[in-house]
Structure 1
Amino acid sequence: VEQGRSNLKLLDLFDERGLNKLEPYLEAATRTNNPNQIQKDIIKVYENVYLLNQALSGSILKIFPLPNNESNKWVAYPELQEANFTGRDSLFTKNILPLYFDALRSARETGDYAMADQFLDGMKNFQKKFGAEVIPSENKIKAEIIYNQADIFNRLYRYFALMGILMFVFIIFQIFNEGKLINAAVVGSKIIIWIFFALMTLGLIGRWYISGHAPWTNAYESIIYVAWATVFFGLAFGRKSNLTIASTAFVAAIILWVAHQSWLDPAISTLVPVLDSYWLMIHVAVIVASYGPFTLGMILGTTVLLLMLLTTKKNLPKMELNIKELIIITEMALTVGLVMLSIGNFLGAQWANESWGRYWGWDPKETWALISIMIYAFVIHARLVPGLRGNWLFSVFAIFAYASIMMTYFGVNFYLTGLHSYASGDVPVTPTFVYYLLGFFVLLSTASYFRYKKYYIKKG
């Protein structure tokens, strides 16, 4: 491939003999347990080429339901010989797709799609005749089209980020110089964030209606649900705290941005058998929702340290008031999160007993959930220990304790092997931004400590 080209034709990947040029590199990439980035890209391109070939050959389009099939199996056009259709059904399935494509080619020249639409209606009627049990209703189909066109969650992370930053700037101005215009800007920002939350809720309800099950069954859905829970608790706890709402909007933007990275599939899929349980509505809903208050506590802890860093002798009284308010909300959020995580863990034990015949098995997910419970129990009770009191230390604890939630949620799923894991043997590379974030929090904690020591420690 010539240097500088950003796009390829499918034929560019094959030589004169029709062999895939990626084959030699693919073998080397699949032999290693820890492929580098180039090898991962080769595997990804090969998978995409395979999917494109499947689509072009028609193998990926399962459009013909088998008559009277107990498992409601559908087959693609190349699989018709093995499907054993008989009589008129056999004649229909063998001819309808070529006829439809011919009609489409003619329609491109004439602009008349009437014949193509007739063939399409014929396929639709055939599907309804033999596959009605698994065909979504017209309302669900319309709802899914609207959901896909709206692309709510992908758009909202940009809007949340914008409003979170703007509201935070407005609040900083409000702290230094309060006025009617700036107050109106803060109130307007708050109302817009409430509207965004309503749209998130509608998106979750729509996804639930379309799929027919609770929308927290895979990695993408659970991240979306964590974002929703974070905004919910942020708005609930921050009814009288504008800084809480601004911080919530910003962290919601980050969570939604993560949800729309290329390694997560946003497709609405069917429910796997192990999750087809009423416990999905109880255990998963409670335990994943608990990540919302913990996320809120982390971002509020960060906000407190930033306020300490911005403290001067002139604005000290206002900063003290805002910090006191945020500390109270942080403690409330962490307490609610701890209660929910503990209850969710006990409910998970009940589900584990029904599914696997034991309440506890030291599975990585169970173990790390317990570790998170112990860490947050320490954080909350540390404020009762004389040597560990102080708003600065509590905020630092709230930030770094969140690492246990990240390990419970992402680490177990992708780094460890267990009943709750998505790991497949390959060791994933930790994203670079994680190290930058860690460095940022260490620097913020260090820098804010000197301001805390100068302006606050004498009063505490």
Structure 2
Amino acid sequence: MIKKTTCFIYVALLVAMATATMVENSHGTNYAHTAIYGSWWFVLMWTALTALGVAYLLKRHVRHWGTWMLHGSMVVILVGALLTHLTATKGKMHLREGETTNAYIAEGDGHDMRNAMLPFSLQLQRFETSYHAGTSAAADYESVFTVIDGHERQRGRVSMNHIFSYRSYRFYQASYDADGHGTVLAVNSDPWGIPVTYTGYALLFFSLLFMLVDPKGPYRRVLRSDLLRKGALMGLLLFALATSGRAQSTVPRATADKLGRLCMLYNDRICPVETYALDFCKKVYGARSYKGLTANQVLAGWLFYGNEWATEPFIRVKGSALRKQMGLESHSAMANFFVMGQYTLGPLVEEYYQGNTDKVHQQALDVDRKLMLVMELRHAASLHLLPYTTPHGVTTWYAPTDTLPQTMNHQQALYIRSVFSLMAQDVAAGRWDRVDEFLNKMDRYQHAFGGRTLPSAPRYQAERVLNAVPFATVLFMVNLTLGLIALFYIMGRMTEARWITPRRRRWADGTFAALLGLSFLALTAAMALRWMVSGNMPLSNGYETMLLLAWFVEAIALLMQRRFRIVMVFGFLLSGFFLLVSHINAMDPAIGQMMPVLNSPLLSIHVSVIMMSYALLSLTFICAVMGLLMRRHEGELQALSQLFLYPAVAAMGIGIFIGAIWANVSWGSYWSWDSKETWALITFMVYAIALHGGSLPAFRRPRPYHWFMVLAFLSLIMTYFGVNYLLSGMHSYA
């Protein structure tokens, strides 16, 4: 009875949390927190689950201390969460420079706000925003203040990922005033909940690691299983793109490359013009080139031959609903959107902003944004290639259409405003030597006036290599092709095909291992180059996390392929799939500056560990699919799946608690029931069910186990993709 009741409440909690994320999306965060997360019945369900879980362990006379430590850590974490819920205080404090106050707005029950007082006062000395050199991208926000506590004075400083503590209160940088002379600090006091919760996290960390190394534990029994020496796999889809034909008017490739090698301000950083050209082509046309022309030539074509290019079918119209309504092709000319001087998308875009957001209007807005990118390029408004450094040493990059500062001397201002129009005259006359000299002079100008905002030579060269080699596109095609070939080879080995002689087997094993190693090195190089270019670990967007997932899959496959040859096939196919996902247009590969709050070592560790767990859980899904398709080998594939499952659950648990610590340091709250957090917890709890074969006998049998792992993978898909695209929350950058 205890087990059935525990299972019922466990499943009910999963359903309640999943429902809460949907409710938050439709009714707002405050409603979801009041009606579900903060409700008495939700707290009661967690309390009942905790009590029943302890009672069940006592009833079974469990004496294994690792099991008690693991489940006990959950109890301690829940006790800490309860203490936080009952005793913590949090709110916001607004300060102006020179102002002294102890008043703040505290958050009450149901997210109601009330006035409150600190037992001491703060006086703001200054608020500063620092920027990445030569850009308007914020690098950090910092508030410097004095704590006044009776006759005592103490200096305090708060910035992103740097908190200030005094007595039992902690202060975080939350926001700031538009004029830059005021700040908003988050105030948090949780003297009881945080230490208890952190104790639970520490216990969880050590118990999850112990689960993997415990000589008497279930994972070591999996490692000793003879079934791991057998196995089989699956196949995937191969995909390729091709273009043909040639546009009529542009500059020679050598001249276009000179333009591409210049630097510009784009995406809040200084980068080669060719980076902007590639992104322009991919966003507007959907490919890196157009009819045999490079991205640099496409950029030059639109810049200098805009009228002719307006008749080229260059604008990609993805939406079939819009194409059908307006009679457009999948790639249409810019001229098709202007009839008798009227902008045909104008009414649809206006209706979208008035609240009509059906498919046609969404697709119209997408095309409208592409057309705006083209218009900006035609007028050189997006080409911020010309730097100016003020007498105070502040460098700003300007486009010819920008308003120039009064402090700029007349000759320099004249050069910035007229350089492209003068160059256009030589382009029209075909005087390419003079155009090249214009570009050479512009390069010298950038080095003379760009100052320290110009990228270093290694960073510049790293970005040019990234631009030249589409790593994800090449590797997904190569890996999927090799994966299919390796699949047929492994199946031949399993069926003892006569054509696989011992000598051929040794040669094939060595060749596939070497090719997987080369693919891994290429992917490592791609990620290292992105790291060099951005200055941050490459995990700031969906594209980069897909690369990281592929990297982990290949690393795991390389480590295990010598003992389990089938893992080699997993490595090729699954990494190829992740790279294929990264290749699709839904994930923008553009490199930009990282938000200040995300620039934290804890976040890098959190995302890396979580991505490793996702990679391992993806391998359990592949095992499950093949176990259902190939019943003869379902037992071996269950053992192989469990080989991945235990470290995957351990990594996910560790990743979640590292993320909670980072959130507490950065946001002032280690758990906020954000949709991404909630679904990560749901996924962790779902996969943890499969580890309880001792209590749930169905999971000892291969077929129910494989069916469960297929269904469990849906929670992972929801966590990674569904939350980003279907739900709301703070993790929209993930």
1:62 corresponds to 2:384? yes
Deviation at 1:333, TM superposition (A): 1.3
State the partner residue of 1:96: 419
1:244–1:300 contact (8 Å) kept in structure 2: no
- Alpha-carbon separation, structure 2, partners of 1:243 and 1:94: 63
State the partner residue of 1:315: none
1:297–1:398 contact (8 Å) kept in structure 2: yes
State the partner residue of 1:13: 337
Q: 1:205 aligns with which of 528, 550, 553?
A: 528
State the partner residue of 1:444: none
1:342-421 map, 5 Å: 342-382=653-693, 385-421=696-732
- Alpha-carbon separation, structure 1, partners of 2:702 and 2:696: 13
Distance verdict in 2 for CA 1:241–1:307, change over 3 Å: farther
State the partner residue of 2:566: 243
SS in 2 for 1:90: helix
1:296 corresponds to 2:619? yes
State the partner residue of 1:144: 463
2:606–2:656 contact (8 Å) kept in structure 1: yes
Q: 1:129 aligns with which of 448, 457, 476?
A: 448
1:51-450 map, 5 Å: 51-68=373-390, 72-81=395-404, 85-106=408-429, 108=430, 110=431, 112-113=432-433, 115-178=434-497, 179-180=500-501, 183=505, 184-308=507-631, 311=632, 319=633, 323-324=635-636, 326-382=637-693, 385-421=696-732
C-alpha RMSD over aligned residues: 2.5
Opposite residue 420 of structure 2, the aligned amino acid is L
Unaligned stretches of 5+ residues in structure 2:
1-322
- Alpha-carbon separation, structure 2, partners of 1:7 and 1:345: 44
1:104–1:116 contact (8 Å) kept in structure 2: yes
Distance verdict in 2 for CA 1:212–1:402, change over 3 Å: same
1:293-320 Cα offsets, whole Å, 9 max, x none, are: 1111111222222221xx3xxxxxxx47
1:160–1:252 contact (8 Å) kept in structure 2: yes
Deviation at 1:79, TM superposition (A): 0.8
SS in 2 for 1:353: helix
1:328-376 Cα offsets, whole Å, 9 max, x none, are: 3321211111111111111111111121111111111111111111111
Distance verdict in 2 for CA 1:6–1:370, change over 3 Å: closer
- Structure scoring higher RCO (CA < 8 A, sep ≥ 6) equals 2
Q: Which one has the bigger helix percentage?
A: 1
1:233–1:333 contact (8 Å) kept in structure 2: no
1:234–1:296 contact (8 Å) kept in structure 2: no
TM-score, length-scaled by structure 1: 0.81
Deviation at 1:143, TM superposition (A): 2.1
Opposite residue 237 of structure 1, the aligned amino acid is M
SS in 2 for 1:214: coil
1:81-103 Cα offsets, whole Å, 9 max, x none, are: 46752233223223323233333
Q: Between Structure 1 and Structure 2, how many residues are aligned?
A: 405
- Alpha-carbon separation, structure 1, partners of 2:492 and 2:664: 55
Q: 1:25 aligns with which of 345, 348, 352?
A: 348
- Alpha-carbon separation, structure 2, partners of 1:83 and 1:421: 40
Q: Which one has the bigger strand percentage?
A: 2
Unaligned stretches of 5+ residues in structure 1:
312-318, 424-460
State the partner residue of 2:200: none
Opposite residue 421 of structure 1, the aligned amino acid is S
Distance verdict in 2 for CA 1:376–1:92, change over 3 Å: same
1:401-428 Cα offsets, whole Å, 9 max, x none, are: 12222111112222111111259xxxxx
- Alpha-carbon separation, structure 2, partners of 1:45 and 1:284: 33
Opposite residue 161 of structure 1, the aligned amino acid is L
- Alpha-carbon separation, structure 2, partners of 1:64 and 1:240: 58
Deviation at 1:71, TM superposition (A): 6.6
SS in 2 for 1:287: helix
Distance verdict in 2 for CA 1:4–1:99, change over 3 Å: closer
Deviation at 1:208, TM superposition (A): 1.1
Distance verdict in 2 for CA 1:370–1:65, change over 3 Å: same
Larger radius of gyration: 2
- Alpha-carbon separation, structure 2, partners of 1:283 and 1:337: 14
- Alpha-carbon separation, structure 1, partners of 2:328 and 2:335: 18
1:224–1:259 contact (8 Å) kept in structure 2: yes
1:171–1:186 contact (8 Å) kept in structure 2: no
Distance verdict in 2 for CA 1:263–1:70, change over 3 Å: farther
State the partner residue of 2:81: none
The sequence identity of aligned pairs, in percent, is: 28
